[in-house]
Amino acid sequence: MKKSVKILWRVFLFGFGLFILIILLANFGIFGSMPSIADLQNPSASQSSQLYADDGTLMGKYYLEDRVNVEYKDINPYIVKALVATEDERFYDHSGIDPRSLARAFFFLGSKGGASTITMQTAKNLFTENWNTGNIFLRIIQKVKECIIAVKLERNFTKDEIVTLYLNTVAFGDNVFGIRNASKTFFGKEPDRVSVEEAAVLVGMVNAPTTYNPRIYPKNALDRRNVVFEQMVRNNYLSEAEATDLKRKKIQLNYKKLDETAGLAPYFRMVMGEELKRWCKEHKKSNGDNYNLYKDGLKIYTTINPRMQLYAEEAVAKHMAYMQKLLNQQSDVKSGSVWKEHENVLQAAMKQTDRWKNMQKAGVTDDDIKKSFYVKTPMKVFAWNNNRYKDTVMTPYDSIKYHRQMLQAGFMAMDPLSGEVKAWVGGIDFKTFKYDHVNVNTKRQVGSTIKPLLYSLAIEDAGFTPGTMVEDVQQNFKGYGMVPATDKTCTGRTMPMAEALATSRNCATAYIMQQLGGGNEGAKRFIDFLRNCDVSSKLEPYPSIALGAGEISLMEMMQAYSMFPGRGFNVKPMYITRIEDKNGNVLQTFTPLRKEVISDVTAYSVISMMQGVMQFGTGRRIWSYGVTGEIAGKTGTTNDNSDAWFMGYTPQLLCGAWTGCDDRFIRFNSTALGQGSSVALPIWAYFYAKASNDKNVAIDKSSVFAKPDVMENDISYDWINDVPTDLGAEGDDIGNGNAKDYGDEVLPPIKQEDIKPESELPDTTKKEKLPDGNDKPKAIMPKKPGIK
């Protein structure tokens, strides 16, 4: 044998041995971990967790990669055929590695196509990391690992299972992963309902998700789709005539991507995200690891009613847009003088903006950054219209003032017996204002909405009745001074407790507190009662708490008020019914948490007095909004109109509304405009008018509050004829109101607009159909190449 031949053989054998050694070393994990047999038999990829409404509507997702798995039977055969024809036309003939493609890639250095099969790409998606490295040596190692894993996958799975794994893990455009999310995002359809041309667009994207994204580059996507058609003709999945007809069609997108702002109830979803992350930290999977909200594909079923949620958002938008116009006309807001002594608020807000943080990272000095805030710039700002923004030119400094002058709102509706939360609106626009005003951590002064709770204690523990006479006189609490701080809202009259609540008399309420204990003994007693109502906010035992000086969240007030329509039983707001894993196994179910706080006699007594609030007192404006049936409620207004509340309920539904600016010094100066009956009550009324008239919501407007059997007589309202024309003002230092402040609509004649809700629901009026016209999906096995 010639020396040159011997050398050639030695080089070949050395190379072959080295190749075998590399395979063995890779298989044993020397070049990085390899999946175990268990991993191969149960492959997993990061899946988004999904949040559902009470009717099964998908509200939104939590994800790092937007992926939801789907079974093979739910994938249209067109998708499988297009994929095989385009990405791996010998898929059904090889065992994970395609020698012909491998040789072609080697000899032409990848210029005429790569060597990866569908199985190898599935291995890459599932089990390899840093696969897109630019290091040639590492890339070779990765390819070897992909080949080994691909062969193992072929031994553990059928071809149909492998193609399903691939389609569930592959990346599409816009950070969407998996065929189900891609078909839903780009075409608004389940993957078993896409047409052949839509299937070709989706498959065309997997080669280069950004380049062939039909939303961003429609021409590229169209050209790529037509290439897919040609490959399907080449592999006998389409005829030439069919492909020619299909190529004439334009790409018709129905694009809708769920993100943090799109979907149903964005504020609720944000709060639930934090709740669910805490849940994950407290619960472990079978392998001992904690659940991961963003990777484990949990299914969370909530109590939110989609229709009620939309009505709530519409009600908030309708009234807050109207009230904002009135606030903007106020002289101190219009002139900017409202900021005269609050420049520090604006300066602090500057440093919280992305503009400041980004310029600071870029090394710009603080002085230069500050100067940029006084340069007029084109921008989008929040506006009360259907788009919820407008294009304008203003300085960033002025945009901070503009947005901080927006009236905010919080609204919640729930079933007072089960505690199921049906609607949650945490603010006026989630895209612009992320701060939620409903959850338990957001506290505001509650004003006169605290009074029914105090009156409950007086009835339950101190022997009061709605007819007990109380004095509307300023009270002196030894060691704590006079309550209220001024006597200008006191009438000096003696009146039934029912009248005192209906007309929201501060001095009479202070008198009731005095009867519960002098000094701060009555306040301590009241705080203990509030704790029993599950009000967890930190409250100091000052007598002024009787007038609502304490700061409490809307959610806590909802729970406390639930004892009235709940016949003495308090219920914790419940917003999740169950949590399942990605396979549908139930991990936890949730049930109402109820406890008895007061007797049903006390509850009914307070209900009757609060009906008086609505019929004859500070809430009587509600009847001008077209609502009917039995309604009980209480308005609330704090000093200087900084906070306006309305808590109202029927036998079937409890709702609460808070309004105000995040900066409390921005407020209405007018009693008529700033009262809870003007700013908060209409939100409740607009919502209830729509919800109660919707047969799908199933609210019985004829239902009545249940009267305990032991009660022989209802409350007598003989005192009504003696009610003075002025109903008083709920805040201490804003002067007396008068009858018109609480009566019919007396607000300035500015046009109110119906603004669409922030959330959107799927279009359920159009029923999805399969391309052949059938309604039900059919599982069709893909035919092997060569068979039409």
Domain closes at, from 362, 379, 404: 404
- Confidence label for 140 from pLDDT (cuts 50, 70 and 90): low
The predicted-structure confidence for 266-278, as pLDDT tens digits, reads as follows: 999 999 999 999 9
Q: Looking at per-residue confidence, does 68 or 351 come out higher?
A: 351
pLDDT band per the 50, 70, 90 thresholds, residue 122: confident
Quickly list DSSP for 1-54: --HHHHHHHHHHHHHHHHHHHHHHHHHTTTTS----HHHHHS----B-EEEE-T
Residue 768's pLDDT is 46
Alpha carbon distance 661, 659 (integer Å): 7
Give all strands (DSSP E) within 259-306, no chain letters. 299-302
- Taking the C-alpha atoms of residue 218 and residue 203, their distance in angstroms, rounded to an integer, is 15
Please check whether residue 448 lies inside any domain of the structure: no
| Residues spanned by the domain of 335 | 330-404
Residue at 436 is within a domain: no
CATH number, position 133: 1.10.3810.10
For residue 395, which amino acid is it?
Answer: T
| pLDDT average, residue stretch 671-698 | 94
Mean pLDDT score of the chain, rounded to an integer?
85
Of 396, 318, 312, 310, the closest CA to residue 357 belongs to 396
The mean per-residue pLDDT over the stretch 744-759 comes to 73
Question: Beta strand pairing status for 644-649 and 632-637?
Answer: antiparallel
Say which range, 128-142, 493-507, 557-571, has the weakest mean pLDDT.
Answer: 128-142
Statement to judge: residues 87 and 164 lie in one domain: yes
Contact yes or no for 280/316 (Cβ under 8 A): no
Neighbours of 44 (CB within 10 A): 14
Quote the CA–CA distance of 147 and 161 in Å, as a whole number: 18
What average pLDDT score do residues 364-373 get? 94
pLDDT band at 458 (very low <50, low <70, confident <90, very high): very high
pLDDT value, residue 488 = 87
Residue whose pair of structure tokens reads 């007192």 in the numeric block: 617
Highest mean pLDDT among 53-67, 653-667, 753-767: 653-667
- The answer to whether position 231 is within a domain reads yes
Examine the domain organization and report whether 15 and 75 are in the same domain.
Answer: no
**DSSP symbol at 290:** B
Per the domain annotation, does 290 fall within a domain? no
Q: What is the pLDDT of residue 13?
A: 63
Q: Does 193 lie in the same domain as 337?
A: no
Is residue 781 included in any domain, yes or no? no
Per-residue pLDDT of 283-331, as tens digits, reads 999 888 899 998 899 999 999 999 999 999 999 999 999 999 999 999 9
Task: Examine residue 291 and state whether it is found in any structural domain, yes or no.
Answer: no
pLDDT band for position 692 (50/70/90)?
very high
DSSP 8-state code for residue 446? -
Q: 756 with 386: CB under 8 angstroms?
A: yes
In this prediction, residue 152 carries a pLDDT of 77
Whether pLDDT at 723 is above 80: no
Residue-wise pLDDT tens digits, 606-648? 999 999 999 989 999 999 999 999 999 999 999 889 999 999 9
Cα distance between residue 771 and residue 119, in whole Å:
28
The answer to whether residues 87 and 213 belong to one domain is yes
Q: What is the Cα–Cα distance from 260 to 274, expressed in whole angstroms?
A: 13
For residue 490, pLDDT over 70 is answered with yes
Ranking 111-120, 565-574, 595-604 by mean pLDDT, the lowest is: 111-120
80 and 203 co-located in one domain: yes
Averaged over 200-221, what is the pLDDT? 93
Query: Is the pLDDT at 98 greater than 90, yes or no?
Result: no
pLDDT at 426 over 50: yes
Q: What pLDDT, on a 0 to 100 scale, did the predictor assign at position 101? A: 62
Query: Which of residues 407 and 113 earns the better pLDDT score?
Result: 407
Same domain, 100 and 24: no
pLDDT beyond 70 at 12 = no
Looking at the structure, do residues 26 and 139 belong to the same domain, yes or no? no
Distance CA 295, CA 280 (A): 11
Q: Is 10's pLDDT higher than 70?
A: no
Judge if 128 and 246 occupy the same domain.
Answer: yes
pLDDT given for residue 120 in this prediction: 80
Residue type (1 letter), 74? D
What pLDDT is attached to residue 90?
Answer: 84
Looking at 349, 374, 404, the residue that finishes a domain is 404
* pLDDT (mean) for 640-657: 96
Instruction: Kindly tell me the sign of the dihedral angle through the C-alpha atoms of 560, 566, 567, 570.
Output: negative
pLDDT at residue number 715: 66
pLDDT tens string 498-529: 999 999 999 999 999 999 999 999 999 999 99
First to last CA, the chain: 55
Total domains present in the chain:
3
Q: Are residues 225 and 352 in the same domain?
A: no
For residues 7 and 82, state if they share a domain.
no
More confident residue, 715 or 160: 160
Q: Residue 43: pLDDT band by 50, 70, 90 thresholds?
A: low
Q: Are residues 85 and 19 in the same domain?
A: no
Q: Is residue 318 part of a domain?
A: no
Q: Kindly state whether residues 86 and 150 are assigned to the same domain.
A: yes
> Helix H segments across 620-718?
671-674, 676-679, 681-692
- The arithmetic mean of pLDDT across residues 342-358, rounded, is 93
Q: Which of 404, 436, 464 is the last residue of a domain?
A: 404
Structural domain contains residue 767: no
